[in-house]
Amino acid sequence: MKTRPTTQLVPHTVDGKTRMVPVHVDAPAPPRDWDRFVLNGVTGIAAIVLTASVVWSTASIGDLLAHAVIEPAAYGAAVVFDLAWIACMAVEWLARYDEDRAALPRWAGHVMLVLAMLAVGAHGKVAGYWEIGLIGAAVSALAKGLWTVVLRHQTPPLDERTRAWIQGELADAGASLALIPVRRQLQRAQGQVDAERAAIASADRGSADPDRPDESADDPDADIIGIRPGAVTTKDAVRIAWDSGFRDEQACARYVAKVTGSMPSPDTVKRYLRLLKNAAS
């Protein structure tokens, strides 16, 4: 039986204290997975074929388009033909567990492949070698066909009920993701409403009453600031500014000063903003 060196953690006790220490041992080596070996080889072959297809198509279509535009633009547009159906094939692979979602990229990939093949064939005709055009167009078809076989082999078969269950799970996850921007918009709107109300309340408290007579000598000292029940605190003002979209510390401090009537401590504003950032993350 084949073995291979490996490291295992074993308990070791010294002076009554036990620790897990690494020990080098020879463990049985697992048998070679020939199925995985063959699949990796086929995938490598498919990658080489795909690369050759992109190079050939880009060279052919680029040479065809170079008759009308400069070469950099021609070859830049030529590479789009193969990249388009390759991207559709990748999206089809990502949607392999949902046959309904995979149908559109599969259909679009076939259409884009046909367009690429027609462009390669047109280059052969313009060059005077229609046989080369047909063979070159077949290269793209072979590349996509090989990748389709490889991807279909790696796609696990699912029964109808399992696919329906997966679609339900994806729908629930999609609904949760969709609610995130909605809740963010609601919080932003509510923050703007709270900020507007706080600003109006602050303006009402700071405005003079034209119908009130002049203060008498018995009025409280103007230097003494009375406690106002329900006044907006620095923490509340920072939270309102955060909900309204303020992220800069100086801008937030100016807003807090406007709402509360006094300039807050920069450290206090920074601390409250840090707490809100941690809560949001």
For 3-27, the pLDDT digits (tens) are 778 888 889 889 888 999 898 888 7
> Are residues 80 and 123 located together in one domain of the fold?
yes
DSSP one-letter code for 263: P
pTM of the complete model = 0.56
Residue 120 placed within a domain: yes
> Are residues 194 and 267 located together in one domain of the fold?
yes
> Are residues 148 and 51 located together in one domain of the fold?
yes
The per-residue pLDDT for range 24-52, each reduced to its tens digit, is 888 787 788 888 889 899 999 999 999 99
> Are residues 50 and 138 located together in one domain of the fold?
yes
> Are residues 62 and 133 located together in one domain of the fold?
yes
Residue 103 placed within a domain: yes
> Are residues 138 and 233 located together in one domain of the fold?
no
> Are residues 135 and 195 located together in one domain of the fold?
no
SS3 state at 264: coil
Residue 52 placed within a domain: yes
pLDDT band at residue 218, thresholds of 50, 70 and 90?
very low
Residue 191 placed within a domain: yes
CB contact at 8 A, 255 and 241: yes
> Are residues 191 and 136 located together in one domain of the fold?
no
Place of tokens 């807050």: 264
Q: What share of the chain is helix, strand, coil (3-state, %, to 5)?
A: 70, 10, 20
Higher per-residue confidence, 239 vs 40: 40
Total domains in the fold of the chain:
2
pLDDT band at residue 225, thresholds of 50, 70 and 90?
very low
pLDDT band at residue 141, thresholds of 50, 70 and 90?
very high
Question: Residue 52 to residues 72, 87, 109, 136, 178: CA-CA distances in angstroms?
Answer: 20, 17, 18, 11, 41
pLDDT > 50? residue 226:
no
> Are residues 87 and 185 located together in one domain of the fold?
no
Residue 221 placed within a domain: no
Mean pLDDT lowest among 45-59, 76-90, 106-120, 242-256: 242-256
Residue 32 placed within a domain: no
Residue 164 placed within a domain: no
Residue 91 placed within a domain: yes
CB contact at 8 A, 89 and 144: yes
Q: Which domain holds residue 49?
A: 41-155
Phi, psi of 90 (to 5 degrees): -65, -40
Domain boundary among 117, 140, 155: 155
Inter-axis angle of helices 99-127 and 130-154, to 10 degrees? Answer: 160
CB atoms within 10 A of CB 156: 7
264 CB burial (10 A radius; 0-12, 13-18, 19+):
buried
Provide the CA 122 distance to its chain's centre, in angstroms: 39
> Are residues 251 and 189 located together in one domain of the fold?
yes
CB atoms within 10 A of CB 278: 8
Rounded average pLDDT over 67-80:
91
Specify the pLDDT at position 204. Answer: 59
The per-residue pLDDT for range 265-278, each reduced to its tens digit, is 888 888 888 888 77
> Are residues 62 and 109 located together in one domain of the fold?
yes
Q: How many CA atoms lie within 13 A of 45 on its CB side?
A: 11
Rounded average pLDDT over 225-236:
59
Q: Six-digit token pair at 275?
A: 């707490």
pLDDT > 60? residue 185:
yes
